[in-house]
Amino acid sequence: MSRAPRQIPASLESEAGLLGGLLLDNEAIQRIPDLDPAAFYSSFHREVYSTIQSLVVEGHPYDTVSVYTRMSEKGGAADLVALNELAQYVPSSTSIRRYAEVVQDRYRSRQLMQVAGEIADLATSTATSAEQIDRAQMLLAKMATVKSRRDPQHIDASIAEYLALLQDLSEGRNPAIPTGISGLDGLLNGGLRRGEVLVLGARPKHGKTALALALARNMARNYSVLFLSQEMAISQLMHRHTAAMGPFDLGRILAARPEDKEMWTAVSDAAHRLGQLNIHHDEQGALTLMEIRRKVMKVRRERGLDVLFVDFLQLMAGAGDENRNRELDIIVNGIKAMSMDLQIATVVLSQMSRKADEHYGPPLMTHLRDSGAIEAAADQVALLFTDWNHPMSKRTDEFKGYSQLDLVAHRNGPQGVVPLHFNANFQQMQDWNRPIPTHKAVPTENRRRDANF
């Protein structure tokens, strides 16, 4: 049985009504949502709307004559009779918003038809079925993301919202997402915030992944979390989660000896508690911005999403046509834009240069790779330092297990140092509850002897 040909989704009447309303009332364009000229199915309507847009941008008034003149100057399909018919078509400019909504809706339907055709073509391509499905999901995820329109807000409205926020804060309703690390939550005025990006930098072996996983577990008790790993398999992440939740020695878990009954009991208990967390993991190297958005949108649709972790920035793939510094600039700004658009909090792990190992002490912002781009896009930058694991460390007993997180940049709050306890065997990172260790002063004569050595 042959199918009837599909009808192209379009409403020429709504297009004409919208354009007619604009030609009658120049102020009406302020009452409609942003429209791409491509939203108009009729090529003539598309050109008329594009011409109106250009006149608006230049600050010129527009009517049938001015639009006709501009279209003629550009060599377009100028037709004064047709323009006059448009101006007379609409019964009232007050319905213009509804016309615009119909035009936009039909445009989205046509886009969906186009994507469906691309997906059908994918099914007959030489790619594997997994690659075909991945590409299809990316196409649909891109369609599902509609950027919301924001209009300027008068300060009266801003004051009302601000006072409501202060009232919520005074009553204990903080919009922040607590990290579970009290020192960090104190500096962040309660925790992470939606639309903001925290960059966490450290050298290898200083506990960067342990801290990120600890934050993810803490927040996943009450919020939905997605952890994107580009260097560790999910099984490796689970080893670390299990050791921390046990708590149990990671080495014994990795050995998984059948006779180690204590280990199996600890793993069973940890697995039960981990299963109560709302956390998603992903293992894929060289992620692109589009792939991150696709994964985010999938989790967001299925379970909701509050916090995203990306481990780590320098492993992400760019477009391939820019120098690497420029690519990372685009990537970190893209992550920031996505966080604001989707209203999620984001933690991005970042690598530090080897110069941090040549400098004994807490790292500096300049040790952060591509620090210029990161500092500009991030809302907070925190650098992790574990004295015991630094190549120049003297490994004195008081520093064993001590780490510090230095909040070196904070757009909306104070900077400061968060003391942490890092138990590498258990892969635990939590608040430090002992006196903060300090390096003992070296006598002058010993310093001279060391310098001559």
Task: Name 323's Cβ contacts closer than 8 Å, sequence gap at least 6.
Answer: none
Angle between helices 80-89 and 43-57 (to 10 degrees): 80
Helix, strand, coil in percent for the chain, rounding step 5 = 50, 15, 35
Ordered per-residue pLDDT tens for the chain, 453 residues:
455 567 889 999 999 999 988 888 888 887 887 788 999 999 999 999 999 988 887 788 888 899 999 989 888 788 888 888 888 876 565 688 889 989 999 999 998 898 888 888 888 888 888 777 767 766 776 665 555 455 567 777 777 777 877 787 777 777 899 999 999 999 998 999 999 999 999 888 888 999 999 999 999 999 999 999 988 888 889 989 989 888 888 888 888 898 989 889 988 988 898 999 999 999 888 888 878 888 898 899 888 999 999 987 878 876 554 566 677 777 888 888 889 888 999 999 988 878 888 878 888 888 876 666 677 788 999 999 998 888 888 888 888 889 999 999 998 889 999 999 998 888 889 999 888 888 765 444 443 333 332
- Please choose, from the candidates 346, 368, 391, 407, the residue with its C-alpha nearest in 3D space to the C-alpha of residue 206: 391
> Tell me, which fold does domain 179-431 have in CATH?
Rossmann fold (3.40.50)
Buried/exposed 201-221: b ≥16 CB within 10 Å, e otherwise = bbbeebbbbbbbbbbbbbbbe
The domain 12-144: what is its CATH number? 1.10.860.10
Domain positions in the chain are 12-144, 179-431
Cα separation, 102 vs 249, in Å, equals 61
| pTM assigned to the model | 0.66
Type of residue at 241: H
